[in-house]
Amino acid sequence: MDGILNIDKPSGKTSYSVVALVKRLSGERRVGHAGTLDPAATGVLPVCLGQATRIVEFLVNTTKTYRAEIELGVATDTFDASGTVTYCADPSSIDLDKLQSALSSFRGSIRQTPPMYSALKHRGQPLYKLARAGVNIERRSRPVTVHHLELVSWQIPFAALEIECSKGTYIRSLAHDLGQALGCGAHLKNLVRTRCGIFDIKNAVSLDQLEEAFRKENLQAYLYPIDSVIRDMPSVVVDEVAEAALKNGNSIAIVDSLDTGKLCRAYSPNGRFLGILRYLHDKGLWQPKKVFI
């Protein structure tokens, strides 16, 4: 069973529990998600099955889009509504101009410090476990990119934002940092991931629909092909000799005018996806990076 599911994760479920459910329903040992969603967050969670787990890295690196509701005037230790309140202030002095001005500093390339309550690890231990034990670890800020940040609605003390961002962006941290910039504190009240790469929430399948599909043995209706997430990669059709070489892990020569600085997709003469190739400049050959047999 090879392919990718676009699952609409409900609130209260961890990303891991969704993966565990898919494993149980499918009987497939190789199952993994592409990009953790916090338990309280909802929305698009791509789940890869079988050989599709080998392209998780390409999904993780795609841009994500979120609809976030931020509450001003209340800060928490987790930076979201599940945490303990650490600071309160009256946000009534914040008007639209002040909010828009503060938001402008979060667009483009920014540096962001991950929250202590996160799955990042310190010496093998997840930070959230250390945080629960009362241990605070100094975290380094890291670069992320906010491609699009729009204020969708504003009614004191709530601001709804639409955010398109790069891998590694914490919307909880953005909410917390916005509160600090405004001087009143803030936390993330609600979060919905509306897009992850090619996967849109409009086409996402609920867990109930998923279980029904397994009961009716109709999962194929929801499975996306492995190569669907790398369609922006150049492609090439190879002959049967080259196909056999790739299956054995051997490099091949390609006469097509491909961009040798990038990866490419390889297909058999009958259109079957064979794998991802990378160019070896020193040999002038294309080497299989990932082969799907």
Neighbouring C-alpha atoms within 13 Å toward the C-beta of 278: 4
Angle between helices 96-104 and 171-182 (to 10 degrees): 130
Q: Is the peptide bond before 157 cis (omega within 30 degrees of 0)?
A: yes
Catalytic residue among 2, 8, 38, 177: 38
Structure tokens at 270: 């009958």
Cα-based torsion angle of the residue sequence 254, 258, 261, 262 in order, rounded to the nearest 10 degrees: -90
Structure tokens at 281: 């400049």
DSSP string, 256-293: S---TTS-EEEE-TT--EEEEEEEETTTTEEEEEEE--
38 labelled catalytic: yes
Pairwise CA distance, residues 65 & 198, whole Å = 11
Cα-based torsion angle of the residue sequence 142, 144, 150, 151 in order, rounded to the nearest 10 degrees: -20
Pairwise CA distance, residues 112 & 181, whole Å = 13
Candidates 291, 11, 50; CA nearest to 278 is: 291
Structure tokens at 201: 């929430």
Candidates 45, 57, 58; CA nearest to 17 is: 45
Active site residues: 38
